[in-house]
Amino acid sequence: MSDFLFQLLLTFDATLRVAAPLILCGMAGIFSERSGVIDIGLEGKMLAGAFAAAAAAVMTGSPWLGLFAAIGVSVCLSLLHGFACITHRGNQVISGLAINILASALTVTIGIALFKRGGNTPSLEQDMRFRPIEWPLAETLESVPLLGPIYSGVISGHNLLVYVALLAVPLSAWLLFRTSFGLRIRAVGESPEAVDSAGISVYVLRYKAVILAGILCGIAGAYLSIAHGGGFGREMSAGKGYIALAAVIFGKWRPVPTLMACLLFGFLDAATARLQGVELPIIGEAPTELMLALPYILTVVLLAGFIGKATPPKNIGEPYPKGK
Amino acid sequence: MNAQNLPRWADIGLLPVLNILAALVVSGLIIALIGEDPFRAMGVMIKGAFVYKGALGYTLYYTTNFIFTGLAVAVAFHCAMFNIGGEGQAYMGGLGAGCAVLLADAILPGFLMIPFAVVFASLFGAVWALIPGWLQAVRGSHIVITTIMFNFIASTLIVALLAGPMMRDGQGAPETRPFAESAQMPYMHDLMAWFGIEAARTPLNISLFLALAAAVLVWFIIWRTRFGYAVRAMGFSPGAAEYAGMNSTRIIVLAMALSGALAGLMASNAVLGEPHKLVLNFTGGYGFTGIAVALMGRNHPIGIVLAALLFGALTQGGTELDFEFQTITRETVLVVQGLIILFSGALYYLFAPWVARVLNLTAKKEAAT
């Protein structure tokens, strides 16, 4: 039994690692979509951020400069998204799709030009990465039954950006629901006319929201390439942005439920990796393919209204015509 | 005259050209920035797409894929549905074709086997689009999200099948056994040899005719039938269409099914046409490219065929970049593709105010003289 518990703790530990970028992108998606701007481009921004982080870390040797580069690049893509669909009132889905395709193509193209390694960056040295942080007394407390292993195995020993991701949730919740800025963001996604007639600029608010989304996606990208991984690999975001989008819907555009959805999807992913080819009692070989598809299937079922109802912000996807 | 009501020729003729030019200029700048000569790259791509022996055959082979996926996206657009799931629907089309062939290629002769497989491909594609369509129409589930999810579900499903029950016996690779000859689309070079014309061996096959026929059929359905009228009415103003007594659920579901069937037909080219077996990721992102094709072609079959030719040439010309250059590869072509989606999709009216200003100026001059 203790072996089972040990395995479970390892899986929870892996869950946090897998879920961290999902959580960051999920919060990004919440800000953007709450303000009325659909963000299919989470994936592309994260991928571009991952590349920028690794490239900057390799060139400068500093993970912090890598992180800033990731945020900078990702915010640039956010501004492009804003330029296309806030300023020019273009279709938000098309703009997001273009960003994803551009990110996937540009990272490889620039990667080959800079490093000549088929689109990957060189592997990073240890000091170019965000290293795991051992919490105080982690080793001494390990012998405490139950709580000890949880403290030292699950909570302690992650890199800085995992904790940033976890902190981003209460911060986002506070910002969205406890500040006037958050109130305005939510209002502009529900009824931009009301915000406009109160004398507040719809455009500026939406730009602020997509920039916030850019920052968060940039951190997620840096997490992939210079914290969790040790370098950039082509297409390394591998659909995580879309899973985060699913998590946002699953969490009904609210930070804490979105966190839960990210943890659930992360757990499925972590458990799949562990259960590959394992024979389980009763069901036989673990249905790993089904587990991989489960986030997508669950999201469709939720969207269909069979488990609760996911109501998006009312004005989502609608460009706001100025001066109407 | 303002940016929103330009004359028709400027709206559907001039703006697309300006947008493609903008995309090409930006791509050229990027290529120059990484230290290669954009004009030389362009020359290599044009030669690779049209001039070398067999180049045109490859270009038209890719064009065939893009006609199918472009039409698929366009039909859904006419109904105001954004079908971002062409990739998954084409993948499922491949599964349908594969199932049909594996079941029956030992017993059916070619003239029955191929239509049977093509029908299966379009049916599977149709079902994969019909479900999101139904969910949108009846349950209000956002079709963009559901079709994205269906792409991923299709992908996992086919990985599971190809690594499991459909895998070729005694092989490690996740793919089916090769199809029997009766299930292979006739090659164009064979067809032309039959008429006494010698052509280079290329993957181009008679699916191209199927694609062109599909384009004509889409034009006929959308602009010449009651159903097409209903689709366009629903796309233009769902409220008015329902008020006029149209059944929105039925129209949306049928339009999505047609859209998915067209995407599924891509398998007649990319499965029955060339590899003659079902392999992983044969869709190669062409379903997403279909969105660019439809946007550039302004959702009209003629525009789509032309845009598909452009993307076919870009794809085939792009493979040539790999041989000629150190630092630019076929991924560079994806940059062009992304920029075309950006400019002719999301930023379609970027140049409209300037065009309007120029037109106004010339109009004033004419009035003065």
pLDDT digits 0-9 by tens, B128-137: 999 999 999 9
Rank A42-51, A267-276, B190-199, B242-251 by mean pLDDT and report only the highest: A42-51
Task: Provide, as residue numbers in chain A, all residues whose Cβ is less than 8 Å from the Cβ of B339.
Answer: 98, 102
User: Is B34's CB within 8 Å of A249's CB?
Assistant: no
- Listing DSSP states for A233-271 in one string gives -TTTTTTHHHHHHHHHHHTTT-HHHHHHHHHHHHHHHHH
pLDDT digits 0-9 by tens, B310-327: 999 999 998 888 888 878
Q: Are B70 and B263 in contact (CB under 8 A)?
A: no
Co-location of B158 and B169 in the same domain: yes
What pLDDT, on a 0 to 100 scale, did the predictor assign at position B4?
60
User: Is B139's CB within 8 Å of A305's CB?
Assistant: yes
Asked if B146 reaches chain A (Cβ–Cβ under 8 Å), the answer is yes
Assess whether pLDDT exceeds 90 at residue A318.
no
pLDDT digits 0-9 by tens, B171-211: 778 899 999 998 999 999 999 998 888 888 999 999 999 99
Asked if B161 reaches chain A (Cβ–Cβ under 8 Å), the answer is no
**Beta partners for B205?**
B187
CA distance B236 to B231: 9
Q: Are B76 and B259 in contact (CB under 8 A)?
A: yes
User: Is B144's CB within 8 Å of A38's CB?
Assistant: yes
User: Quick count: other Cβ atoms within 10 Å of Cβ B197?
Assistant: 9
Co-location of B155 and B279 in the same domain: yes
pLDDT digits 0-9 by tens, B271-309: 999 899 999 999 988 999 999 899 888 899 999 999 999
CA distance B289 to B124: 20
Above pLDDT 90, what percent of chain B?
65
pLDDT digits 0-9 by tens, A116-144: 888 889 988 888 899 888 887 777 777 77
CA distance B221 to B235: 15
- The chain-wide mean pLDDT, for chain B, equals 91
Task: Provide, as residue numbers in chain A, all residues whose Cβ is less than 8 Å from the Cβ of B349.
Answer: 88, 90
pLDDT digits 0-9 by tens, B25-38: 999 999 999 888 99
Reported as a pLDDT band with limits 50, 70 and 90, residue B1 is very low
Grouping H, G, I as helix, E, B as strand and the rest as coil, residue A308 is coil
Distance between B34 CA and the closest CA of chain A, angstroms = 6
CA distance B365 to B360: 9
Assess whether pLDDT exceeds 60 at residue A71.
yes
**Which helix (DSSP H) or strand (DSSP E) does residue B220 occupy?**
helix B207-224
CA distance B96 to B133: 20
User: Is A105's CB within 8 Å of B135's CB?
Assistant: no
- The chain-wide mean pLDDT, for chain A, equals 89
Co-location of B363 and B272 in the same domain: no
| Exposed / middle / buried, residue B181 (Cβ in 10 Å: 0-12, 13-18, 19+) | exposed
Asked if A40 reaches chain B (Cβ–Cβ under 8 Å), the answer is yes
What pLDDT, on a 0 to 100 scale, did the predictor assign at position A308?
67
Asked if A324 reaches chain B (Cβ–Cβ under 8 Å), the answer is no
Co-location of B130 and B211 in the same domain: yes
User: Is B84's CB within 8 Å of A249's CB?
Assistant: no
pLDDT digits 0-9 by tens, A173-231: 999 999 999 999 999 999 999 999 999 999 999 999 999 999 999 999 999 999 998 89
Contacts of residues A114-118 at CB distance under 8 Å and 24 or more positions apart, as own/partner, are A114/A55, A115/A55, A115/A58, A116/B326, A116/B327, A118/A234
Assess whether pLDDT exceeds 70 at residue B58.
yes
Query: Which amino acid, residue B78?
Result: H
Query: What residues does each domain of chain A span?
Result: 2-303
Among A257-261, A304-308, B63-67, the least confident range: A304-308
Q: Are A122 and B339 in contact (CB under 8 A)?
A: no
Q: Are B64 and B211 in contact (CB under 8 A)?
A: yes
- Listing DSSP states for A32-92 in one string gives HHHTT---TTHHHHHHHHHHHHHHHHHHHS-HHHHHHHHHHHHHHHHHHHHIIIIIS---H
User: Is A110's CB within 8 Å of B150's CB?
Assistant: no
The fold of the A2-303 domain, in CATH, is ABC transporter involved in vitamin B12 uptake, BtuC (1.10.3470)
Co-location of B102 and B224 in the same domain: yes
User: Quick count: other Cβ atoms within 10 Å of Cβ B313?
Assistant: 23
CA distance A322 to A196: 9
What pLDDT, on a 0 to 100 scale, did the predictor assign at position A135?
81
Q: Is residue B343, in this structure, part of any structural domain at all?
A: yes
Grouping H, G, I as helix, E, B as strand and the rest as coil, residue B84 is coil
CA distance A298 to B272: 33
Co-location of B215 and B271 in the same domain: yes
Tell me the ipTM for this assembly: 0.89
HSE-up (13 A, CA, CB side) for residue A65: 10
User: Quick count: other Cβ atoms within 10 Å of Cβ A83?
Assistant: 17
Task: Provide, as residue numbers in chain B, all residues whose Cβ is less than 8 Å from the Cβ of A289.
Answer: 156-157, 159-160
Co-location of B293 and B345 in the same domain: no
Q: Domain holding B277: CATH number?
A: 1.10.3470
What pLDDT, on a 0 to 100 scale, did the predictor assign at position A161?
95
Task: Provide, as residue numbers in chain A, all residues whose Cβ is less than 8 Å from the Cβ of B84.
Answer: 40, 93, 97
Grouping H, G, I as helix, E, B as strand and the rest as coil, residue B175 is strand
Assess whether pLDDT exceeds 50 at residue A312.
yes
Task: Provide, as residue numbers in chain A, all residues whose Cβ is less than 8 Å from the Cβ of B149.
Answer: 246, 296-297, 299-300
CA distance A226 to A80: 25
Range of the domain at B330: 1-36+325-369
HSE-up (13 A, CA, CB side) for residue A304: 15
Among B221-230, B253-262, B349-358, the least confident range: B349-358
What total number of domains does chain B contain? 2
Question: Taking CA atoms, what residue in A is nearest to B294?
Answer: A94
Bridge pairing between strands A158-159 and A279-280: unpaired
Higher pLDDT, A266 or A287: A266
pLDDT digits 0-9 by tens, B138-158: 988 889 989 999 999 999 999
Co-location of B317 and B349 in the same domain: no
Q: Are B143 and B83 in contact (CB under 8 A)?
A: yes
Grouping H, G, I as helix, E, B as strand and the rest as coil, residue B280 is coil
User: Is A102's CB within 8 Å of B342's CB?
Assistant: yes
Assess whether pLDDT exceeds 50 at residue A167.
yes
Task: Provide, as residue numbers in chain B, all residues whose Cβ is less than 8 Å from the Cβ of A104.
Answer: 331, 334
Co-location of B125 and B59 in the same domain: yes
Contacts of A34 (CB under 8 A, 6+ apart): A176, A185, A186, A189, A209, A253, A313
Assess whether pLDDT exceeds 80 at residue A279.
no
Higher pLDDT, A215 or A234: A215
User: Is B152's CB within 8 Å of A97's CB?
Assistant: no
Assess whether pLDDT exceeds 90 at residue B10.
no
Q: Is residue B238, in this structure, part of any structural domain at all?
A: yes
What pLDDT, on a 0 to 100 scale, did the predictor assign at position B139?
87
Q: Are B314 and A78 in contact (CB under 8 A)?
A: no
Q: Are A270 and A18 in contact (CB under 8 A)?
A: yes
Co-location of B300 and B363 in the same domain: no
- Out of B141, B333, B345, name the one closest to residue A304 (CB): B141
- Out of B141, B291, B332, name the one closest to residue A303 (CB): B141
- Out of A38, A102, A292, name the one closest to residue B156 (CB): A292
pLDDT digits 0-9 by tens, A72-116: 999 999 999 999 999 998 889 999 999 999 999 999 999 998 998
Residue with tokens 């939720």: A302
HSE-up (13 A, CA, CB side) for residue B26: 18
What pLDDT, on a 0 to 100 scale, did the predictor assign at position A323?
58
Question: Taking CA atoms, what residue in A is nearest to B160?
Answer: A289
Q: A98-124 burial, b for 16+ CB within 10 Å, e for fewer?
A: bbbbbbbbbbbbbbbbebeeebbbeeb
Task: Provide, as residue numbers in chain B, all residues whose Cβ is less than 8 Å from the Cβ of A290.
Answer: 160
Distance between A30 CA and the closest CA of chain B, angstroms = 15
What pLDDT, on a 0 to 100 scale, did the predictor assign at position A178?
96
Mean pLDDT of B48-56: 91
Q: From its phi and psi, is residue B276 left (phi > 0), alpha (psi between -120 and 50) or beta?
A: left
Co-location of B165 and B281 in the same domain: yes
Co-location of B100 and B128 in the same domain: yes
| Residue A174 dihedral angles phi and psi, to the nearest 5° | -65, -45
Mean pLDDT of A260-280: 85
Distance between B188 CA and the closest CA of chain A, angstroms = 32
DSSP state of B183: G
